[in-house]
């Protein structure tokens, strides 16, 4: 595979020899025939299709569901690299939780002037209904997904913090299951850390976050918006793997001061609700009165300490892209430490000087909506036409506070198997973090998302990106 000098090749580094984490795999790969690998790749696609591993895509007239492309060449991370990443992730997650508690209580970081009051006051993700509320165990973000990109041997950056309802963990698990099925001999040859215990750890972590008054084994349920949600496969998958009920708002009711789910034996009170419904739709009595997805009275029970909602309502301010630009200050403020993992330099378009710079350099930058997700509503300047840039400039001038901008990073590449052989594709990584009182657990690896088109930097599944298995090597 030819090297691309502009990008760090995770398999070959900056030279032509294989990097140590890939050595054993590369030796195995070279002994495989091209036809064998192509057949395995097709077998994997058939397996995904039979299992129903799909991603619902909004706004697509030709199809509601799409099979996420899967590549059989794993991404491999050494134990040393992973150790550094986990230290940085844990530091960041602790700071996020402390920040959320502060925002809904004393707001010390605002008093200190480290973050402007307007950034919070004008933020739609900030929920006044959460002011003064103490979540069970003091945990706001029970499940976190930290998006990480790499630009060099030792250069890692956090691209986004997903603190609301991070998705993708089911694909991480199914990717590993597929690789184990396709290449069992590889896992006896290469010592790879397991990820299959994630559902067990998730249930244990959620149960540990139950309200103080919970008696006996906590009852956990997963709240889904329903089958039309883009991540419904994941909601059903995780509920099944954890051995808990998958419920919709219509299945829940306020009974004797508790939120209870309808069963064949009547109503059963729930202690922990792992919600995959957005804040706005959680409770029509507290938020959107037209919501059919939530549960009337849920927030009253929550405020009284009668149920744990994971993640807590109002966590969206922590993964807002405007707040992201303040994360180095947030980490320093709450931990007293310098960030282990760097932020991507960010221009806040709400600031006149930053806006002027961004408008002058739109063809060089990536511009994102502050509340955007899934790769929607963004501009990748170097890949955009003059007409697209001009149209985006108009949107930016009309609502500058709605956008942030970042430089176009030289994202690392990982080889994928194409018809012509191995070819480089840009990737990111979403490790998944479980937080419970006194404990933070980080699944070894996470979801590697890859751009399917040569040279593309867009890895989101909703934008046609694919995934691959992520291997963290044993020490």
CA distances from 253 to 86, 174, 344, 417 (A): 40, 33, 44, 50
Residue 188's region, left for phi above 0, alpha for psi from -120 to 50, else beta, is alpha
Mean pLDDT calculated for residue range 385-392: 93
pLDDT one-digit tens code per residue, 252-270? 999 999 999 999 889 999 9
pLDDT tens sequence across 332-356? 999 999 999 999 999 999 999 999 9
pLDDT value of residue 374 = 54
Tokens 């997700």: give the residue.
Answer: 373
Q: In the predicted model, what is the mean pLDDT of the chain?
A: 91
pLDDT level of residue 375 (50, 70, 90 thresholds): low
DSSP state at residue 364:
T
Are the C-beta atoms of 166 and 145 separated by less than 8 Å?
Answer: yes
Rounded distance, CA 171 to CA 169, Å? 5
Q: Residue-wise over 211-232: b if at least 16 C-beta within 10 A, else e?
A: beebeeebbbbbbbbeeebbbb
**Run of H or E including 298:** helix 298-303
**In whole angstroms, what is the distance from residue 470 CA to residue 193 CA?**
10
Residue 61 pLDDT > 60, yes or no?
A: no
Tell me the average pLDDT across 200-217.
94
Of 213, 142, 201, 136, the closest CA to residue 173 belongs to 201
124 contact partners, CB below 8 Å, separation of at least 6? 371
Domains of the chain, with CATH numbers?
20-343+409-472 (no CATH), 347-407 (3.30.1490.270)
Q: Given a cut of 70, is residue 169 above it in pLDDT?
A: yes
The reported pLDDT for the residue numbered 17 is 81
- pLDDT at 372 > cutoff 80: no
| Confidence band of 364 (pLDDT split at 50, 70, 90) | very high
**In this predicted structure, what is the pLDDT of residue 291?**
94
pLDDT over 70 at 60, yes or no: no
**pLDDT, tens only, 106-130:** 999 999 999 999 999 888 899 999 9
Query: 3-class SS at 448?
Result: strand
pLDDT band at 433 (very low <50, low <70, confident <90, very high): very high
The predicted model scores a pTM of 0.92
Asked which of 65-69, 154-158, 311-315, 420-424 is least confident by mean pLDDT, the reply is: 65-69
């Amino acid at each position: 595979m030819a090297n691309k000098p502009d990008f760090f090749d995770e398999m070959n580094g900056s030279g032509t020899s294989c990097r140590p984490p890939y050595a054993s795999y590369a030796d195995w790969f070279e002994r495989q025939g091209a036809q064998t690998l192509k057949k395995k790749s097709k077998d994997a696609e058939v397996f995904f299709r039979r299992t129903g591993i799909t991603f619902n895509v909004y706004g697509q007239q030709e199809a509601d569901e799409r099979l996420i492309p899967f590549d059989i060449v794993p991404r491999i991370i050494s134990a040393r690299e992973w150790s550094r990443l986990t230290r940085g992730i844990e530091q960041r997650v602790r700071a996020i939780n402390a920040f959320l508690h502060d925002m809904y209580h004393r707001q010390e970081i605002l008093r200190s002037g480290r973050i402007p009051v307007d950034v919070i006051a004008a933020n739609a993700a900030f929920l006044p209904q959460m002011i003064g509320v103490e979540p069970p165990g003091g945990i706001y973000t029970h499940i976190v997904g930290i998006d990480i990109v790499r630009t060099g041997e030792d250069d890692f950056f956090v691209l986004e913090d997903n603190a609301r309802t991070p998705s993708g963990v089911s694909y991480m698990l199914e990717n590993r299951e597929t690789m184990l099925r396709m290449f069992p001999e590889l896992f006896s040859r290469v010592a790879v850390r397991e990820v299959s215990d994630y559902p067990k750890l998730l249930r244990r972590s959620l149960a540990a976050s139950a309200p103080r008054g919970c008696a006996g084994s906590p009852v956990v349920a997963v709240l889904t918006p329903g089958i039309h949600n883009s991540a419904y496969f994941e909601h059903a998958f995780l509920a099944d793997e954890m051995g808990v009920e998958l419920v919709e708002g219509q299945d829940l009711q306020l009974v004797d001061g508790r939120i209870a789910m309808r069963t064949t034996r009547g109503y059963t009170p729930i202690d922990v609700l792992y919600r995959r419904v957005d804040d706005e739709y959680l409770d029509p009595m507290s938020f959107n009165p037209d919501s059919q997805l939530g549960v009337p009275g849920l927030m009253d029970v929550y405020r009284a300490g009668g149920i744990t909602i994971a993640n807590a309502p109002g966590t969206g301010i922590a993964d807002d892209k405007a707040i992201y630009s303040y994360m180095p200050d947030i980490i320093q403020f709450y931990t007293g430490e310098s960030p282990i993992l760097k932020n991507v330099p960010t221009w806040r378009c709400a600031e006149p000087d930053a806006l002027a710079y961004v408008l002058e350099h739109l063809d060089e930058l990536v511009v994102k909506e502050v509340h955007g997700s899934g790769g929607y509503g963004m501009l990748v300047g170097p890949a955009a036409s003059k007409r697209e840039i001009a149209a985006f400039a108009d949107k930016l001038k009309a609502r500058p506070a709605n956008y942030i901008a970042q430089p176009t990073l030289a994202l690392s590449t990982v080889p994928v198997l194409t018809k012509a052989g191995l070819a480089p594709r840009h990737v990111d990584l979403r490790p998944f973090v479980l937080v419970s009182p006194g404990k933070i657990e980080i699944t070894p690896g996470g979801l590697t998302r890859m751009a399917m088109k040569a040279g593309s930097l867009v890895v989101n599944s909703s934008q046609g990106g694919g995934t691959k298995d992520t291997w963290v090597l044993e020490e």
